[in-house]
Every structure is written in C-alpha cells, then in structure tokens.
Chain A
C-alpha cells in the first residue's frame, strides 16, 4: 500500500521563484513550516511546480485556488500522507519545526502526531465518542485517568464537551455532521500536535455547523499553526492571516489575507478572488 518514496527521481528542473512574494513579511511570528521548491508528481503528471511557502507559527494560512490546483497535494506533503498514493514522487523540501519532512530517515508516525490532519469528509471511527478521541492517545501509550483527562480536555478544546459529556459511550456515527467534524478535530488535537492541516474542513456541512467550525478554528489559532485548504473565498478572508493562491500546481501569490483580497499583485489572483474564474 505504501508507495515507494523516491524524491530523488524528480527532473532536475529548477525554476526561479521570486522569494519576496513567498515570504510573509507581514508576520512577526516565528516560522513553523518552510516549503522550498517543492514539486510533486503523480506518475507522469506534475501536481506541484516548485512551490515555496513560509507558514508562520500560530496563524491561519489559507490555501485557495481552483480544483486540481494542488492545494490538497501540498497539504498531504506536510504529514507525508502522499506516501499512501502509489506512484508519487516529490522533489524539493519542506520543514516542519525544523525537521525535514521528506527525509527518508524521518519517523512518519511521529511526524503525523506532530502534524494533525482534518479531512473534508468527517471520518470518525465507528466506535464510541470517547474511543475516537482516545485513539491517538492510546496508540501513543496513554491510559487510565491520564487518558480520560486528555480526552476531556481535547473535547473541550474542540468545543464539543458540553454536547457530548453525557454521550461519551455513544457511537460517534450518531452525532450530527457538524459534531462529527468537531469530534475529528478533537481527535486530532488530543495528541497535541503543533500543526493542524485542514482540507476543506467545513465544505460538507450546513451553515450553522460551518459557523461553529469557523469559531473553533479562530480559537485553535491561539495554540496551533493551521494550514487550511478552502474553496470558500469569504471563509479564507474571515479566518486566515495569510492566504496563498495556487493555480495549476504553481504558487502564484502569497500575502497577508487582506492584501490578497483587496490588492492582489498577480492578475490571476485577482481574477480568482473576484470570481472571474473558479
């Protein structure tokens, strides 16, 4: 199942990228994720073209762009979930908290505990609410009263505790769609990662649930570095500090969110954020 990773097979193609457009000079926060000339191929198809991006700590960075532009591929590079897809090749590098993610020596299970992921479609395990949140903790060897405490605190962090405190033993699939997604966030947060990757976390939810997820993301921003893929312009504008626009595998522009939406430098960005193409 795990694809052979062979980052050294990428064509030796170095494109010059203007670094002044990729560093977010707006942020005072230290750098958390540093992506450098990252290219990615699915078999013969190139999905990312020498993307460079700096993600500051404890901020929300939104990745926007039309479908198939490589947003999710970029996200999956950061916790090596791309390893699961056969035929993936990566060149260039990315560092999370100074650790080279693409390094073959890196312990991917440890990496994934530091870089949590929330998926578009909520995917709770068909087990109790408690067992869902406890999953990551248990495989890390946590048990007993410590486990209970950490599950409770993760549920509180995900703003779900008040709704499920009396339903901890109930099957998670009985929760509503929005609750399920917050449960998945609680499950990711429980192992205390540094980074949360969110792949369109609210796109399959009703407006009320979207609102609650967005409130939650605003709160989580205080403690986690969040990298979020979204198709929803307003959501990116509302939530993120920094926005990166990807188009056909290329990182076209990255800047403070207000600037991306008010005075984008690249005409493609302007066309996209004003809805001229999608």
Chain B
C-alpha cells in the first residue's frame, strides 16, 4: 500500500501546507501594516496635546499611554515571574530528589497550571489577589469604606499574569539547567566546588540563554493576553497616572474593547488599526528576541575533538 504512494507526493504535500501557512502569516502582517499605515502618524502615538483621555471618544486615546500601560504590567509581571520561576526550576532540576513523587507531583502541577484557561486565571486573580490579598490589606490598614488595594489594579493584574506565565519560565529554566553539559558539572565538582558554587558559577550562567528565552516567551504571551485583565484591572481610559493600586490602560485590552464594544466603530477604527499593528509588532519583536537568544544558547564554538 505504502509503496504505491509516489515518492514526490509527500515532499510536495508537506511543502504546500507549510508554505501556505507561511503565506498566511506574511499576508496577515502585511495586511495589518498596510491598513494601519495611514493611522500611524505622530499624533496617533502621543495625541495633539496632553489632554486627559475621554473614554467615550476614542479619538482622544493614543498609542503611547497604551504601550506604557502594557509595558508597566509586563515589567511588573517579569519582576514576579522571573524569581518565582527560576527558584522553582532550580529546585526541580537540582534539589528535588530525582524520580521522587514530590518532584513528579510538582512537575504535574506546573503542567496543570499551563493548561488552565486564561479566564480562570482572571477570576482567580479577582478572587484571590483583589479580594483576599487586596481586601486583606485594606482591612489591615482599617479603611474599608474606600478601598485602596481591594480593587482591580495594575499590581493585581501583573501578579495574575505572572501566575499564568509561570509554567513557561519554569519549564524553560529547568530544561536549560538540565541541558548544561554533565562534563562541566563534573569538572567543577572535581575542582572542589560545592553544590551551590556549581549552581551559581556553572549551571545558571550556562543556562542563561535558555532561561532568557523562556522569560521572553512568557512576556510575549502575557503582553498580548487580554482575558485576565478584564477582571483584574485594565481600563479603557485613565487619568494617565500609573500607580500600583490604580487601573491602567493596555494595548491588548484596547483592541478587545474597540473591536467589540465601541459605541462608534467608525470613529474608533483608526485607533483600533494602530493598536492592532502595535500589538502585532510587539509580539514579532519579542519572538525575534527569543529566537536570537535561542541561537546563542547553542554552543558557539566548533567542537574540536
């Protein structure tokens, strides 16, 4: 049966599918760029003057504050997810007894976390970070009438996103730590290095490109994600201040709102197109960064044995 399939079929079939997909992606990027181009003037980025945004008038909203909001929440998320992810991965790769049930359970839980839908993260963020942690802070400071922390805000959205992207960082870091050559480990130990010294001086530096790839992928995923933000702190318009306990403006959230809930679709179209373009190029940029780091992760020098 298999012998009757002509030899040329599979190379062409697989090639056709792959190139069709590539064409689709390229035309998507090109199409968005062409449509957004007329709306990417300087004014679209910063606006004619520094007036406050009016939620009812999309023409008063500009790209710059949206990007600033997205950058802020992504940065805060990184601050949380990088140490948490790396510490977890170091434990899994180095200290958890290999093949133990505890390590297996931990790994399984990380996988479960990776599979949880983003809407669940949003609700969890609202319930736990906003309600329990934020509400708890307010109770502790004794001001229940006007909540300072117990409301959707930049900090809670960032932490929710950190939780959501934790598996990406953990898996990438553990993988990177494990792929450091055993020869290097043995060489360091033979020189009298303690376990901690091996970790700090050999494993982590050599795993750095792989870890950075994981972090960038996590940032890439989070920067374009909307759903958890619906519950935890994004707003269509703010007074322009950026505080940990305030709502914030966000590029991806803006795209979502403008494309589904705009009172005047015609008026919001320029901003929508510009936001979509910015979002696509942000993710392209982050993926390119990850690709460059990945290529650096492979040994640079030729193996001269």
Contact = CB atoms under 8 A, between A and B. Distances in A.
Interface string A69-86: 000000000010100100
Interface of chain B, main secondary structure: helix
Given A121-B305, A171-B301, A109 B187 contact: no
A112 B301 contact: no
A113 interface: yes
Question: Among B181, B188, B190, which residue has the most Cβ atoms of chain A within 10 A?
Answer: B190
Interface in A14-59: none
B192 interface: yes
B299 A113 contact: no
Contacts of B197: 139
Interface of A: 1-2, 79, 81, 84, 109-113, 116-117, 119, 121-127, 135-136, 138-140, 171, 173-177, 180, 184, 187-188, 191, 204
17 contacts: A1-B195, A81-B186, A109-B193, A111-B192, A116-B191, A119-B190, A122-B305, A125-B184, A126-B299, A126-B300, A135-B188, A139-B193, A139-B194, A139-B201, A171-B300, A180-B304, A204-B305
A84 B189 contact: yes
B206 interface: yes
Contacts of B304: 173, 175-177, 180
B94 interface: yes
Contacts, number: 82
A142 B301 CA distance: 29
Nearest to B200: A139
B49 interface: no
Interface string B269-305: 0000000000000000000000000000001110011
Interface centre among A1, A116, A127, A171, by most chain B C-beta atoms within 10 angstroms, is A1
Contacts of B299: 126, 173
Contacts of A2: 195
Contacts of B257: none
B184 A112 contact: no
B241 interface: no
Nearest to A179: B304
B190 A116 contact: yes
**8 A-B pairs with the lowest CB-CB distances in the bound complex, closest first:** A173-B301, A123-B183, A113-B192, A136-B191, A112-B192, A117-B190, A123-B187, A109-B192
Nearest to B205: A127
A173 B191 contact: no
Given A119-B183, A139-B201, A113 B191 contact: yes
Most buried by A among B94, B202, B300, B301: B301
B184 A123 contact: yes
Given A126-B300, A175-B304, 4 more contacts: A123-B186, A124-B187, A136-B193, A173-B300
A84 B184 CA distance: 14
Contact of B186 (A110, A119, A175): A119
Contacts of B41: none
Nearest to A79: B190
A120 to B, nearest CB: 10
A139 B94 contact: no
A132 to B, nearest CB: 9
A81 to B, nearest CB: 6
Contacts of B186: 81, 84, 119, 123
Interface in B173-221: 181, 183-184, 186-195, 197, 201-202, 205-206
